[in-house]
Amino acid sequence: MEANGIRLHHLKWAAGGRDLPPVVLVHATGFLARLWQPVAEALASRFTVHALDLRGHGDSDKPLDTSGEDPLAPETESIAGDYHWQNFVDDLAAFMDALSLKGVPIVGHSSGGAAAVYLAATRPEYVSKLVLIEPIIMPSGITMDEDQRGRMAEGARKRRQVWASTEEMVAAYGARPTFEHWRPDVLQLYAQEGAYRREDGQIALKCPGEIEAQVFENSASLNIWDILPRVDSPALVMKGERTEGFLALVATGVAGRMPNARLVTIANAGHLAPMERPEAVASEVLGFLAE
């Protein structure tokens, strides 16, 4: 679909074509809508589920500079797209406008949660309830410093982008600490859907490292923390039991700053709980939305 001046790819899950209430899912940096599949399939028993690929991710447009370089081409060295986080918020609103969705629940993970809560604070007519899974919202005075953002961005730029096969990618990712707790079928789904087949037969990530790096570099581009008290809609904030340090504190702080929010902990999960314990995440979402 066309929304906010770009093409946004989206998915829909609807059980038996029934006309059920809608819910919108927003993924984290570097990922894509398809990774919501295990959660979405569980929610589809009671909801029509919509999920979009944010700009620069999955099969959505990847804004470029006027040189017209292909961000997925192996020779591309830089991508001058605008990945200010306000654009993710505006894309989400335009996506919902295109589907005539207003006053509906939104479930957001990490940076997707940040976009969802900013939309709720600034344009509350879009949101009835919020589920925020470890949203990336920097507290005032404790913002991630430029050096830390730079390290994350540099790591994304250096991340391996190309593999000989899906099997090689699954084996490589499964050995990394970030992915070692993922449910195996979700890791397989990421390798199959989060990469595309190049002309040389190899596979490459649909979200290039340069785009992911720019998203990290812009992680302080919106002051969301200070407007959290303006979010009146009921909210459920999730954090993983294994999440420690800054992200755990942020999740607790976010829940405490919204007047109608509560915090739950997903057992045996970390920051990537939707990929590690999708069944537990879906159960919490269903229970909250049924209240």
203-205 and 162-163 strand pairing: antiparallel
The CATH number given to 2-290 is 3.40.50.1820
pTM, 2 dp: 0.92
Higher-confidence position of 63 and 81: 63
Q: How is the chain split into domains, by residue range?
A: 2-290
- Express each pLDDT in 156-185 by its tens digit: 888 899 999 999 999 999 999 999 999 999
- CA gap 39, 277 in Å, rounded: 9
What pLDDT score does 148 carry? Answer: 65
pLDDT of residue 33 exceeding 80, the answer is: yes
- Write the DSSP assignment of 180-247 as a string of letters: TTS-HHHHHHHHHHSEEE-TTS-EEESS-HHHHHHHHHTTTSS--GGGGGG--S-EEEEEETT--HHH
- CA gap 94, 97 in Å, rounded: 5
- Look up tokens 């954090």; give the residue: 239
